[in-house]
Amino acid sequence: MSNWVPELTKKDIGFISETLSIPESYLRTSEDLEELIGHELLFKRVMNEEEIFLKISPFLFFKILVKRAHRELRWEGYTLEKHGQYSVYVFDTDILSHILERRDVRDYLALLLASFSKVKSFVVYIMLKRKLYKFRQSSLDVEMLEEELSHLEEEKRFPLLRRIADTILFLSGIFPDYVRKRAEELAKTKKKSANELIREFEEKGSLYYQMASIHEEAKRLGLKEVLYTFSQNFSLLKKPLNLIERRYLSFRKERIF
């Protein structure tokens, strides 16, 4: 397993065992665990449990949702893209499903979502003028993150390069209405349409993933390939997040994030 992917917790294994009536000892050594995570009973239970994060980790919760989104995208054969007030059917699920067949891509999406949940927090340490500063990042302000990045030397930039890219993908996937509203406000003072500004925002996310992918730290952590995949497929990989937001999180999104 890649050294950036967290292990399932003891509570996670117990939850899967209880839900599927499978001994924990089998789950800890089973090569089928990844397939079991896509089981219908697990999906139904995490959707119906009110205080789900008391029972499982955010990582397992979002692994289950990402797995389900992949399954539904395969069934449907199309995705939806919003253009202003209209939704357009796009028949691009063949290539998207092929990308989502990769476990590292699914795990990265789950880890990204978990990192923005209220249960988790993102901390970065920055050395400025020989003094170490600790920043606890719960902000979704991309410009603020970019400002902090500008103070860092190259070898220390990786965590923020990655976080900026993750933030842009998270906003584009889970809060697309906010992104559009912000773009429409900016369009009033810029000589560009809201759609152009949204496209530029996503291109920025792609660029930051690319910058993160070529950083030496990405290679050390085993993240180079998956980050490069996200850089090349940013607009596609926001779509499983759009589906998760629309179908699974619409009534509890504000409580989770």
- The answer to whether residue 43 is domain-embedded is no
Q: Quick one: pLDDT band at residue 15, thresholds 50, 70, 90?
A: very high
Across residues 44-63, what is the average pLDDT? 96
Task: Give the pTM.
Answer: 0.90
DSSP 253: H
- 167-209 residue pLDDT tens: 999 999 999 999 999 999 999 999 899 999 999 999 999 999 9
Distances in Å between the Cα of 93 and the Cα atoms of 132, 159, 199 are 46, 31, 20
The pLDDT of residue 54: 95
- With a cut of 90, say whether residue 97 has pLDDT above it: yes
Asked if the structure places residue 113 within a domain, the reply is yes
Residues in contact with 169: Cβ distance below 8 Å, sequence separation at least 6, in sequence order: 112, 205, 230, 234, 237, 238, 241
Q: Is the dihedral of CA 208, 119, 97, 37 positive or negative?
A: positive
Quickly count helices (H) and strands (E) in the chain. Answer: 15, 4
User: Among residues of the chain, what percentage have pLDDT more than 70?
Assistant: 89
Average pLDDT of the chain, as a whole number: 90
Residue 249: DSSP 8-state: S
**pLDDT > 60? residue 137:** no
Predicted confidence band at 120 (pLDDT cuts at 50, 70, 90)?
low
pLDDT of residue 221: 94
If you write DSSP's letter for every residue of 163-223 in order, what string do you get?
HHHHHHHHHHHH-HHHHHHHHHHHHTTSSS-HHHHHHHHHHHHHHHHHHHHTSHHHHHHT-
Q: Collapsing DSSP states into helix, strand and coil, what is residue 155?
A: helix
Length of the chain: 257
**Which tokens sit at 234?**
């940013």
For range 227-244, the mean pLDDT: 97
Is residue 186 within 8 Å of 230, Cβ to Cβ?
Answer: no
Over residues 199-225, the pLDDT tens digits come to 999 999 999 999 999 999 999 999 999
For residue 252, what are the contacts with CB-CB under 8 A and spacing of at least 6?
none
In a domain, 167, yes or no: yes
Is residue 107 scored above 80 in pLDDT?
Answer: yes
For the chain, the domain total comes to 1
Question: Is residue 87 in some structural domain?
Answer: yes
Q: What interhelical angle do 194-213 and 176-187 show, nearest 10?
A: 120
Give residue 217's domain range. 75-256
Assigned domain for 8 exists: no
Residue 165 within a domain: yes
pLDDT at position 77 is 81
Asked if residue 22 belongs to a domain, the reply is no
Helix axes 93-100, 234-247, angle to 10 degrees: 90
Q: Which residue has the higher pLDDT, 39 or 88?
A: 39
2 falls within a domain:
no
Give residue 148's pLDDT band: very low, low, confident or very high (50, 70, 90): confident
